[in-house]
Structures are given as structure tokens and as C-alpha cells.
Structure 1
Amino acid sequence: MLRQTLTRLEQADALDGAGDKLQTAVSATFRPRFLRDLLHGSPLGHPLHPVLVQLPVGAFMSAAVLDLVPSRSSTRAATILIATGLAGVAPAAAAGLVDWSEMTRDRKRVGLVHAAVNTVATGLYVGSLIARLTGHTTRGKALAYAGLSVAGAGAFLGGHLSYAQGGGISHAAPEVARIPEEWTVAGSLASLPDGKPVARTVGDTEVLLFRRGDEVTAMIDRCSHEGGPLSEGTVSDGCVVCPWHGSTFRLDDGSVVHGPAGNDQPVLPVRVRDGLVAVRRP
């Protein structure tokens, strides 16, 4: 029944109207590219949202443990932890919303409910903090445990979004394992146009090759963001730009320069011998 509910949620196009309005608001709020890149985690080569959620989750879980201890000092420490967790909600939510705004519709539907559930959890924790600060400790603890339960449901949806639907993961990383471990010829050096990316099949995997004179660089052709064909993109200043969503990667080391990709692009070792270009798994 749970799986059926998740499937219905993925297909619930009734959520698209609200999702489109929220996406417009997110795009207007986080317009500067450097800010979007930062929230995507592009400078880190790793999505930022999973890193930022550790603060509120850790603080709220620790507060729940301390609330079980019948002492005034533990109650005071739990209050501080809840305040700390609430302070960490805004940056985590901002990063999550920016990532969400670049996802496919089925992921956006789950992500929208994920965000709504976490908003309810945040409201319960705000109520808990207010109750604690006004001397209503028992009510504050009850609201905190309710908030933790709701946040758990939100975390479940977030896990489904990431691991079942592939939101935020690198879509290029699984392709690396399909590259042969031994040197495999991808084509002749003469067949590669100078200064233009091209795709060649190595084993059963598409690989982007880029030639500069006698030097060749290679990376997985499938963009880490949503799997776009990088070889069909443009090259500028030593970087390739994905034709689907504009993610930009350095050709020499695969590092992400601009989002929406948060993950670096896997590069492959290259060998040129006797006029033949060969690649292998790193």
C-alpha cells in the first residue's frame, strides 16, 4: 500500500499547478547565478542540501534524547538544541528548493509534498520552542516529539526522491562501472575533430572525447545532473555546457563550474598510441 501511495504521488498531476507557482517564486528569489550555484553545491562538487540538513536533523534528534532525561539542565539543553535546529532550517530549505526547481515533474510532485511535510514539522518545533520559553515545558516536549514524527515522514519522502527517483544523484557515476578496465580503443586520433566534442561508444557506454591538437580528454557523455548528452553541447573556455539544462564542466578534470549539476563529471584515463585513442576505467 505504501508503494502504491508513492506511485500515485509521483503521478499526481493535480500538484503541478502549485508546483509551477512555487518554481516561479524560487526562480525569482534565487535569481543570481552565483547564488544558485552555491546552493546547488557546484563549488563543492557535491550537492549542498544533504550536507545542510544534518544540522537541524542532528539538533532535533539530540533534543528528543535529552527530553527523556528528567533534569532541568537537560530540558534547558534541549531548548537550545531546538533553537539551533530551527536556525539551520532556512539554509537547508533554500538549497533543497533550488535543487527541486530543476527536477522533472514526477520528482517535483514528491518534492513538493516533502517540503510541505517538513514545513509542518518546522511549525511544530517553533511551537515547541515558544512553549518552552514561556514555561510550558510539557507542552513543548509533546510538540517536539510530534515535530520529530512528522519530520521522519518528510525524511522518508526525501529518501524516496533521492534513492528511488534519482533526484540529486549523479546520473553519470553508474556509467563508469560499464567502462572496460583494460585499455579500449575509442577511435582514431584523425577521426576526432579539433576543438569540438564528439561521442564514441566504449563497450556499451557513450564517452565524450575532446581533441586539442594531439591531446585528448575523455569523460562520461551522460550529464551527472539529468543524463543529458554532453557531446551535443558547446565548448567554451575549456568547459563543456550541457545542452539540456546548462550544467557546465571543465573538460580536463570534470569539475562542475555551474549548476544545476551539483556533482562533478567523471573523467577517464586516455592513451594515444599509433594514432589510436584508447580509454579505460579509472
Structure 2
Amino acid sequence: MDVPEGRSGTRPVLLRALPRSTGPGRVLGAVGRLEDTRLLDGVARSLRRCTRALPLGRGRDVLHGRWLGHPVHPVMVQIPVGAWFSSAVLDCVPGARRSSRVLIGLGLVGAVPAALAGWVDWAELQKPQMRVGLVHAACNSVAVVCYGGSLGARLTGREFRGRVLALAGLTAVSVGGALGGHLAYRQAAGANHTESVPHLVGEGWHPVGPLDGIPVGRPVRRLLDDIAVVVVRQPDGSVQALADHCSHLGGPLSEGTVRDGCVRCPWHGSVFRLSDGWNVRGPATSPQPAFDTRITDGQLEIRLRRGLRAVP
């Protein structure tokens, strides 16, 4: 937050009044600087191109978690993280060496699909999120290397080295997990960005403007109080309306394209069915809030469709 300057143009008194950053404040400040740094952008662009070029087909939506209704990556990471934390506990239990090795191996196997899902999601984020995501992935990669070395050391009889490497891996995956939490909760990566719409739209019908002001076949933005909606007028005279901000990351659907009864988000390519808001293609994992429409004296009126869920 900027501190306002006094008449002399200096700020000594106000700056002295500001408290020093506490431990949590320093952490948030460090991650905030990471969000703003551009040093990683060149690497991010190259990795994003490579990730988007992977021939995954429909598997891409599976990895996004469209079938689940929310990102699948946070679910999949429970296997490696849980296995590695459990192996750390077993390292403190006499006679549990073999079980600890099995858990480390399970974590290494589970890390592969979890990482793939994470990279697929990461490639469709905004720049500040991608920067944090790169460091998150780097920490997890360090963890994988450490646990791979730990397993190799244990299998060759170097138990102490294996435990030290496992401890280093546990530290790395813990830092990576904290950054993943920052991505999910602080930066809202993977969150449904339209969840608030049903709570903000009042009951009943609401006017949004004259019908003759809506072009045929092209998405336009209209306001319902302070809620943006995208409206599409079809050649047969019917009108369809969805919440305008994409559920993926809030992209403006009104600036997208309409094809085959669907609207495509211009930011990351999510496709939503205009009739009911269903997300027919990701990276969006949540459908769009949909509205009923009617024409009254030449005015378009819309009503939030409540209690009805879009279906595939």
C-alpha cells in the first residue's frame, strides 16, 4: 500500500509509524514479489508451448478434472505427499524399513500423473499464477529427485543417506505444497469464478435492454445490476444468456466466439453450451450460470435459472 506524501514531498513520519513486517508478512511479501517478477516469463512461455503441444486429445479435459467438477491435480497429489509423509513416520519405527521403501516407491509412481495434471492446469493460468506455479513445480521436482535418490540409497544398503535424502525431499515437497496452497487459495487458480453469481442475482425477471440492440449471432455484454452477462440472439429469434465471466479464470465470454450453439472463452479456450451453460470443453471445470429469457414490449428480460443443473 502506498503511503501518501506530505507537503514537503518526504515521508519520514509516516514511515516510522508503519510496523515492521512479521514472519507471516515476510512470507507473503516474498511470494508477492515472486508473483511480480518477470525473470521466469521466458521459461514459462517455452514450457507452456510444450505443454499445450502434448497430443493428449480428450485426455486433456480428463487431466483438468472437467469430469469431476473441479481440478483433479489437488486430488492426485495426495498419493505422493501422503506416501512420503507416511514413510517419514515409519522411518521412526523400528523394523519398518521395508514398508518405508514401499511408500517412497509408491510416492514416486504417483508423482508422475499428478505432475502431468499439474502441468496441464498450469499452462492455462495467468502470468502471476504461472510464476508461482513454476517455483511450486521446481520444489516438487527437487522432492522427486531426493526421494528417487533416497530409494536408491536404501536399496543399496545406505540407510542413513536414504533417510537424509528423504528428509530433504520432505522439506522440498512441503514448500511446494505451501506454494500450491497459495495458488489455490490466494490466487484462486482452479476456483470457480462464477460461484458468487447465484448469491448476487435477485429473484424474478430483470430487464437488460432492448432486443433490437442485440445483434444476431454475436455475443454482447449486458448488465444485470452489477452482474455482467453475455447475451446471444439466434437467427430464429431466441435469446440465450449466461454469466459473462468465465468460470475458469474470469475471461469475458462476450469477447469470445459463437459456434454450434456454444460460446468460446477468448482467454483459454473453454467452451460453454449457450442453452444451459454446460462446459463442453475445458480448461473450465465448472459450468456457467444460465438465465431464462423473455421479451416484454421489445425489452429483453432475464431470470437466473435456479435449481437446474446443466448436464453433459
Aligned match of 1:220 in 230, 243, 268? 243
In structure 2, the partner of 1:255 is 278
1:240-265 Cα deviation digits (max 9, x unpaired): 1112222111223322222232x223
SS at match of 2:58: helix
In structure 2, the partner of 1:14 is 39
Could you say which structure has the greater relative contact order, defined with CA pairs below 8 angstroms and 6 or more residues apart? Answer: 1
Task: Name segments (4+ residues, structure 1) moved above 6 Å.
Answer: none
Aligned match of 2:132 in 97, 107, 110? 110
TM-score between the two structures when normalised by the length of structure 2: 0.79
Q: 1:15/1:232 Cα in 2 relative to 1: closer, same or farther (>3 Å)?
A: closer
SS at match of 1:13: coil
TM-score between the two structures when normalised by the length of structure 1: 0.86
The aligned runs of 1:1-282 (5 Å cut-off) are 1-28=26-53, 30-71=54-95, 74-180=96-202, 182-187=203-208, 190-191=211-212, 195-210=217-232, 216-261=239-284, 263-270=285-292, 272=294, 277-280=301-304, 282=306
Q: 1:268/1:21 Cα in 2 relative to 1: closer, same or farther (>3 Å)?
A: closer
Contact 2:228 2:244 in 1 (8 A): yes
1:62-108 Cα deviation digits (max 9, x unpaired): 2222222212xx32222111111110111111111122122222222
C-alpha RMSD of matched pairs (Å): 2.5
Gaps of 5+ in 2: 1-25, 307-312
- Corresponding residue pairs, total: 277
1:191-240 Cα deviation digits (max 9, x unpaired): 55565543331121012334565765432110122212212322222221
CA distance in 2, matches of 1:35, 1:216: 33
SS at match of 2:283: coil
CA distance in 2, matches of 1:144, 1:54: 17
CA distance in 1, matches of 2:193, 2:156: 49
Q: CA deviation at 1:274?
A: 5.2
Between the aligned residues of both structures, percent identity stands at 47
Contact 2:204 2:303 in 1 (8 A): yes
Contact 1:60 1:148 in 2 (8 A): yes
Contact 2:272 2:288 in 1 (8 A): no
Q: 1:189/1:81 Cα in 2 relative to 1: closer, same or farther (>3 Å)?
A: farther
